[in-house]
């Protein structure tokens, strides 16, 4: 019996030892798990959070860079509610939408989030309004047939500087400054039907016209082109020039054979420096010769004392200058040409298929596309933007009220491409409502 009791006690002791080992093992596992969880929460989680913050910073930084680049190019590039607080909120929303559109689109302007059908409707509406305006005599009636354009060797060399009876506007006792919420440093609002300056803020002071220059480029080119289906081969020099001066471009490539029609639309819609240079070379053999034609046109318009051009794209030069008033007169002269009107009112355009661009290149007039859904008391039908560092963001536009009354507006140095657009919205809203 003693032996059996001793054996059972030995078994029980082994069981107790086994249980203690198991409890000790479980305790070590729990401590190990706690250490690992502590390590995860004190090392891995903070590291992941830091990585996410850094990634977020990088994404927002890239977004800011993209928006800045697009402002420079789309407005050339790269533009309201009356209360300043409301405008600021609208600008933030608009900038977000702008970045979304432009990132999807790519460098100002292939493919977008706006459907083709609304744009087509806008274009049809613009053409309808245009027909009504012509019938009422608001745009003038001296449209030239393309085949009757002057030849280069027929440009008179002794043009007398006499202002055209159609292209002038005068201040009256009712001419005012713009409201304080208008951000532009300079600007002018003109009624082309009555030839009066409705509002002005340094409207006749010398300023840098930037790519608003291309309205004159378009007008001079159209007056000398006979065949829109004629072609021009893009040269390496044109690409180098655009790259050297950091110009907005359509995206034509060296050796690409492009129609003259595509060059005209490319000059205005995306403010393409490559298209403008190609157009100048096609028309006059060189940019220098084309600039002579531009300055001769300024003489015929009676603007040569206050405007002078040294290039066809609007890059800064001490001798390349104009005034808001002169740009408005140039715009009015361009709108007296049927082909110029068609180009200046186009929202979107697809270039012809070429070997280098088999699908063509979709280009947009982003000022018109961004302002078309804003309530400004009328319809903004034609526009051209501009930007260089020395000018700030600027634009010339032409709008018609619901009653068919036209206004031409030029603003310079508004702060950003969207602020430029909202300046035009504010000004048109204010003066169309007064007129109404």
Concatenate the DSSP letters of all residues of 224-255 into one string: H---TT-EEEPPHHHHHHHHHTT-------TT
Q: Tell me which of 22-36, 60-74, 393-407, 414-428 is least confident.
A: 60-74
* pLDDT recorded at residue 425: 97
* pLDDT recorded at residue 144: 36
**Predicted confidence (pLDDT) at residue 383 exceeds the cutoff of 60:** yes
Q: What average pLDDT does this structure show over 153-177?
A: 64
How does residue 79 score in pLDDT terms, banded at 50, 70 and 90? very low
**Predicted confidence (pLDDT) at residue 154 exceeds the cutoff of 90:** no
Give the residue, 252 or 122, on which the prediction is more confident: 252
What secondary structure letter does DSSP report for 44? Answer: I
Read off the tokens for 383: 């526009």
* pLDDT recorded at residue 67: 67
* pLDDT recorded at residue 5: 67
**Predicted confidence (pLDDT) at residue 205 exceeds the cutoff of 80:** yes
Cα(416)–Cα(387) distance, rounded to whole angstroms?
9
**Predicted confidence (pLDDT) at residue 381 exceeds the cutoff of 90:** yes
How does residue 16 score in pLDDT terms, banded at 50, 70 and 90? confident
Give the residue, 320 or 5, on which the prediction is more confident: 320
- Please provide the size of the chain in residues: 436
* pLDDT recorded at residue 317: 97
């Amino acid at each position: 019996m003693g032996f059996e009791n001793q054996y059972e006690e030995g078994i029980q002791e082994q069981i107790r030892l086994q249980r203690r080992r198991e409890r000790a093992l479980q305790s070590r596992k729990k401590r190990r798990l706690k250490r690992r969880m502590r390590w995860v929460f004190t090392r891995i989680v903070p590291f992941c959070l830091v990585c996410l913050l850094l990634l977020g910073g990088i994404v927002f930084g890239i977004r800011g860079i993209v928006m800045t680049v697009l402002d420079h190019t789309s407005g050339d590039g790269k533009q309201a509610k009356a209360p300043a607080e409301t405008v600021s909120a609208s600008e933030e929303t608009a900038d977000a939408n702008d970045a979304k559109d432009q990132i999807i689109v790519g460098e100002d302007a292939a493919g977008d989030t706006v459907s083709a059908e609304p744009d087509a409707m806008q274009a049809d509406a613009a053409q309808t309004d245009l027909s009504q305006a012509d019938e009422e005599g608001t745009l003038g009636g001296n449209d030239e047939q393309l085949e009757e354009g002057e030849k280069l060797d027929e440009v008179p060399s002794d043009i007398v500087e006499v202002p055209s009876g159609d292209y002038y506007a005068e201040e009256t006792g009712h001419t005012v400054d713009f409201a304080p919420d208008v951000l532009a440093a300079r600007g002018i609002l003109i009624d082309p039907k009555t030839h009066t300056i409705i509002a002005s803020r340094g409207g006749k002071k010398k300023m840098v016209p930037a790519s608003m220059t291309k309205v004159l480029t378009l007008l001079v080119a159209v007056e000398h082109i006979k065949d829109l289906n004629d072609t021009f081969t893009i040269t390496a020099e044109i690409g180098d020039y655009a790259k050297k001066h950091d110009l907005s471009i359509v995206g034509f490539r060296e050796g690409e054979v492009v129609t003259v029609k595509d060059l005209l639309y490319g000059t205005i819609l995306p403010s393409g420096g490559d298209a403008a240079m190609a157009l100048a070379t096609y028309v006059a053999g060189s940019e220098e010769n084309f600039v002579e034609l531009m300055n001769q046109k300024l003489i015929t318009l009676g603007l040569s004392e206050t405007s002078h051009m040294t290039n066809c794209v609007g890059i800064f030069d001490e001798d390349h200058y104009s005034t808001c008033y002169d740009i408005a007169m140039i715009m009015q002269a361009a709108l007296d040409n049927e082909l110029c009107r068609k180009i200046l009112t186009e929202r979107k355009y697809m270039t012809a298929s070429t070997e280098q661009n088999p699908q063509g290149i979709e280009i947009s007039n982003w000022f018109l596309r961004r302002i078309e859904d804003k309530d400004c008391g009328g319809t903004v039908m034609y526009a051209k933007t501009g930007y260089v560092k020395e000018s700030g963001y600027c634009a010339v536009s032409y709008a018609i009220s619901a009653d068919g009354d036209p206004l031409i507006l030029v603003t310079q140095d508004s702060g950003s491409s969207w602020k430029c657009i909202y300046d035009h919205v504010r000004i048109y809203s204010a003066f169309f409502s007064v007129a109404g």
